[in-house]
Amino acid sequence: MRYKIYGMQPGLIQVPVFVYPTPITFYLEDQTTHKQVLTLYNPYEFAIRFKVLCTAPSRYTVVDPEGSIRPRCCIDIVLRHNAVLPANCNVTDKFRVQMQNHATKKVIGKQDVSATLLPGKPTGSLSETEVFQHLPSRVDYPDSARIQTPNHIVVVAAVVCIVALLLPTQGDEDSRFPSYLYLTSHLKLIFAYVLACLCGHIVRHSRNRLK
């Protein structure tokens, strides 16, 4: 859909018109539907006037068919079907909502809304017939469904500790390695302690998997 914009002033812009609901449906055997509410929206930064027209004005009553809407506001229009008869079932009429410049009353936008009288009563929507239940606060999975694989970070850390323990210690006379690869005895003790903790974790994890 294309909208023609001729300038920045509200009186010179063809603006989209926002209304809800569309279409409008009346039901012959449901009196609560013989009166409907049509909401007109003005999302713009300027006030606008509105006017509601109809292709069959004798069949409907429109409360306040003309008026104005302030910027970023909306207004409800009450539509009442005055000819709820079997002969008028499946007959579709149309309402036209015109938006006008607030000062000049020049039409700057329009929207057509169809209105149909249907026989019978409205059928219940799916959401009204569905049964909603509480969700569990936590889910307990069986042991067979749990992933029983060692933590990759633990495995990588264990490999790093093993490599560190295989490096030469400071004070050794072996000159095949660069000087920065020589570790102190204190640092190797730390790596050995960490490796022992990691091995204990892996063993406990393996036992739990076998249970």
pLDDT tens column, 147-176: 455 567 878 888 888 888 888 887 776 667
Could you give phi then psi for residue 128, rounded to 5 degrees? -80, -25
Its pTM stands at 0.53
| 109/27 same-domain check | yes
| 21/105 same-domain check | yes
Is pLDDT of 89 > 50?
A: yes
| 83/173 same-domain check | no
Is pLDDT of 98 > 70?
A: yes
| 14/117 same-domain check | yes
Query: Is the distance from CB of 65 to CB of 15 less than 8 angstroms?
Result: no
**What average pLDDT does range 35-54 have in this prediction?**
94
| 20/81 same-domain check | yes
Domain membership of residue 158 as a residue range: 148-210
Residue 41 maps to a domain: yes
- CA 105 to chain CA centroid, nearest Å: 38
| 154/196 same-domain check | yes
Residue 128 maps to a domain: no
Residue 1 maps to a domain: no
Range scoring the smallest mean pLDDT among 7-16, 58-67, 173-182, 191-200: 7-16
Q: Let me know how many helices (H) and strands (E) the chain has, helices first.
A: 3, 9
From residue 191, alpha-carbon distances to 78, 174, 178, 185, 197 in Å are 80, 21, 20, 10, 10
